[in-house]
Amino acid sequence: MSRCQSSGRLNLVELQAFQGLLTQLEFMSSRDSLPSVSAVSPLALAYLGDAVYELYMRSQLLMPLKRIRDYHQQVVDQVKAEQQADYVDVLLPYLSPVEHDILRRGRNASTRRHSRVDSQTYQKATAFEALLGYLYLHDQPRLFELLNQLSQPT
């Protein structure tokens, strides 16, 4: 069981540390320079969201200290398509209409057949990543709010 699933909500220190990491990685200097949501392809948002989510999971699973191989396996278990597709279902009740639209665009953009998972799972995972990419660019506080929903006990 992952640290994220077992301990519930992020504590304030963890959340601030993750926010600090994202701030350091932010590549756009001004929110005014952000393109509109329709100007960025859903696959580009998913590409960015994949990196954001992997960084998030790596930061969450860092403690307690363990071997790198163990870190890697825990991260892989959380960032795989099946887990991300499940997270879409967890987040649906909390999403705004704009966020639902981002999910739809991300899901519809993914037409590639993936050999390891069925296409519906892969599409939902791409939608999840597109949502995270969009929120990273446009509303980081909302990104943290939704990521916290994933660590709620079910």
Question: Catalytic amino acids?
Answer: 50
Contacts of 147 (CB under 8 A, 6+ apart): 10, 56
DSSP 150: H
Distance CA 103, CA 106 (A): 5
3-state secondary structure of 11: coil
Euclidean distance between the first and the last CA atom of the chain, given in angstroms as a whole number: 13
Q: What is the DSSP string of 21-74?
A: HHHHH---S-GGGPPPGGGS-HHHHHHHHHHHHHHHHHHHS--S---HHHHHHH
Which two structure tokens, joined as six digits, stand for 86? 């499940």
